[in-house]
């Protein structure tokens, strides 16, 4: 199977300390995504072809092993290329490294299979808007996206997965009311989990209209974190200025 499967790759970061906080990671970006999010900053790899053999990708993983303790699959949407991700996760496991996936939650069945096969140590899942809100479709351009994400969250709950729910915030698009609803939904599904409030970067967005907006400041994001933390969630924030911080509700 390894000789037959290739991955459509958008790029590789050999050593990263920001994609999995507390880990040194080798990051593989997969091309393609079912969404066309207005704020996507990796939109240049949503289409196009650059097929790479798994053997070549694993050579990069082994070269990074002297520093890296984990491999992160990102994108695009990595689970769109399930055969490649499944086989790579197995091979990375054989090298004794941890495996994480950054996913938009559109493929709950594929996520469940990886978890049942114990091929994932961590899942970073985007929760882009409230799950009962038409805004999910407006952001992603895909009808029924929110229902698929909810199903993926239920998979994470059933499998007892180590995960973080990530909400990227933008002025006038995803802010206080949306964060409040998302935090409530996470509370209802999990009781307690980690919710990451991530500063959106309008200047990098696919939408020209959004690129004209000003990013939310760290102080504004701290206020959003306070909203989420009020539901008893463990909250982190990520900003360009300060990186990742654990928020303490005092």
The kind and range of the H/E element at 101 are strand 98-103
pLDDT (average), residues 5-13: 96
What is the average per-residue pLDDT within 65-88? 97
Residue 3 — pLDDT band, cuts 50, 70, 90?
low
Mean pLDDT, residues 149-175 taken together: 97
Other beta carbons within 10 Å of 6: 18
Q: Fold for domain 1-127?
A: TIM Barrel (3.20.20)
Between residues 150 and 205, which one has the greater pLDDT? 150
Backbone dihedral region for residue 105 (phi beyond 0: left; psi -120 to 50: alpha; all else: beta): left
Query: pTM for this one?
Result: 0.95
Q: Could you tell me which residues are beta bridge partners of residue 7?
A: 52
Alpha helices by DSSP H, the chain: 54-64, 82-94, 108-116, 135-140, 145-159, 176-190, 218-229
For the stretch 29-41, pLDDT in tens is: 999 999 999 999 9
**How far does Cα 14 stand from its chain's mean position?**
18
- Ranges of each domain in the chain: 1-127, 162-250
| Spatial CB neighbours of 211, under 8 Å, sequence gap ≥ 6 | 202, 203, 204, 205
pLDDT of 186 higher than 80: yes
Segment 43-58 shows an average pLDDT of 96
Q: Picking from 2-6, 62-66, 131-135, which range would have the lowest pLDDT averaged per residue?
A: 2-6
Task: Give the confidence band of 2 by pLDDT, cuts at 50, 70, 90.
Answer: very low
């Amino acid at each position: 199977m390894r000789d037959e499967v290739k991955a459509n790759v958008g790029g590789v970061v050999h050593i990263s300390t920001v994609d999995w906080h507390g880990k040194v990671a080798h990051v593989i970006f997969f091309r393609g995504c079912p969404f066309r999010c207005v704020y996507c900053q990796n939109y240049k790899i949503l289409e196009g072809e650059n097929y790479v053999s798994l053997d070549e990708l694993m050579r990069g993983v082994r070269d990074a092993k002297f520093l890296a303790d984990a491999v992160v699959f990102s994108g695009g949407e990595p689970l769109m290329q399930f055969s490649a991700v499944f086989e790579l996760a197995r091979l990375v496991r054989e090298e004794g490294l941890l495996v994480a996936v950054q996913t938009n939650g559109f493929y709950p069945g594929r996520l469940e299979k990886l978890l049942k096969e114990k091929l994932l140590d961590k899942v970073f899942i985007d929760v882009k808007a409230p799950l009962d809100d038409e805004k999910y479709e407006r952001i992603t351009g895909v009808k029924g996206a929110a229902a698929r994400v909810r199903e993926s969250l239920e998979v994470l709950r059933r499998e007892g997965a180590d995960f973080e729910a990530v909400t990227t915030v933008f002025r006038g698009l995803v802010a206080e009311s949306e964060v409040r609803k998302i935090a409530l939904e996470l509370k209802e599904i999990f009781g307690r989990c980690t919710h990451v409030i991530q500063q959106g970067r309008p200047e990098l967005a696919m939408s020209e209209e959004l690129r004209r907006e000003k990013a939310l400041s760290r102080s504004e994001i701290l206020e959003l974190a306070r909203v989420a933390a009020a539901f008893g969630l463990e909250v982190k924030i990520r900003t360009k200025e300060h990186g990742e911080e654990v928020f303490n509700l005092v």
